[in-house]
Amino acid sequence: MIMEHLVFSLNSVLPVFMVMGIGFYLGRRNILTGDFVGQATSLVFYTALPAKLFLDVSRSNFSDCLDIGFTAYLLLCTCAAFAGAWILCVLLVRDRAAISAVVHSAFRGNFVYLGLPICQSILGRESVPSAIMVVTFVLPFYNVLATIVLSYYDPSGRKVSWKRMLKDILTNPMIIAILAALPFSLLGIKLPSVFEKPLAYLGQMSTPMALILIGAGIRPSSFAGRGTWIGFGAIYKVVVTPLVFAVPMQWMGFNPEQIVTAFVMFAVPSAMNVYIVTKKMGGDGELGAAIITVSMLLSAVTLPMGIWVIKTLGII
């Protein structure tokens, strides 16, 4: 069984690297130019990712999945992870322009593309109620926190405005998509096929396009002289947060499904849309792409190890 989980984890990570590698190759050959990457980033940010999130939430049975205690714990831990990353980055990262990218990469995980299938594989079922809580509540919260730190370190030099931050949060297309999907989930409304199919087409485009853009956005120069920052962001995401926030849940009364979901949420590598959102909001997207890459490499080791520990402790 452990070998099966190891093979599954590797099968989840290696294809991701292959598609990113294609993007890197195309970028290095200037087949994907800087202008194209910028335009395609906008396409994914404003259409593909919101479409996917809208469908994921609208198709869920929200009422049956709601667990206030579990959801509150995840949100508090996410807030603590965000605050801890920001404090440490202020102490470790000398370049003010790089702080937002490191913080963003250190707390935001790739739950949609890697976490969900891993949870389904470990628990042996297609529908995981606790995972739906992550998609509905934690993913929007990621966007709120990301908007705060990216707006605070706005490279244009504009004075920090909490009013502008609130506007950025409320107009974030991914947050709008999730809020728009909630009535469909709560009321059990099925989206007409004529609307669902176009959204599905856009949503299916989000994963490969985001991976290609991340690969095209990787610059070897992003690693030069910034190895400490990249290593910190990656290790904080896939090692520190699962140890600090998932391990204590065994003694806090959470059920096995919730423990597995929380572990996966904290242990998955930095989210692919860290690059998309950071670059779109004027941050150091290339540094974010470097941290994503390293965190994925580390997660190929840490995820199977964590699954082995969960099995050994008899949680599942």
pLDDT in tens, 60-106: 776 666 778 899 999 999 999 999 999 999 888 877 778 888 999 99
Q: In the prediction, which pLDDT does 222 show?
A: 60
Q: In the prediction, which pLDDT does 77 show?
A: 95
Q: In the prediction, which pLDDT does 240 show?
A: 94
Q: In the prediction, which pLDDT does 119 show?
A: 78
Q: In the prediction, which pLDDT does 208 show?
A: 82
Q: In the prediction, which pLDDT does 159 show?
A: 58
Q: In the prediction, which pLDDT does 262 show?
A: 92
Q: In the prediction, which pLDDT does 316 show?
A: 66
- Which residues in the chain come in under a pLDDT of 50? none
Q: In the prediction, which pLDDT does 6 show?
A: 61
Q: In the prediction, which pLDDT does 161 show?
A: 63
- In SS3 terms, the chain reads as CHHHHHHHHHHHHHHHHHHHHHHHHHHHCCCCCHHHHHHHHHHHHHHHHHHHHHHHHHCCCHHHHCCHHHHHHHHHHHHHHHHHHHHHHHHHCCCHHHHHHHHHHHHCECHHHHHHHHHHHHHCCCCCHHHHHHHHHHHHHHHHHHHHHHHHCCCCCCCCCHHHHHHHHHCCHHHHHHHHHHHHHHHCCCCCHHHHHHHHHHHHHHHHHHHHHHHHHCCHHHHCCCHHHHHHHHHHHHHHHHHHHHHHHHHCCCCHHHHHHHHHHHHCCECCHHHHHHHHCCCCHHHHHHHHHHHHHHHHHHHHHHHHHHHHCCCC
Q: In the prediction, which pLDDT does 204 show?
A: 84
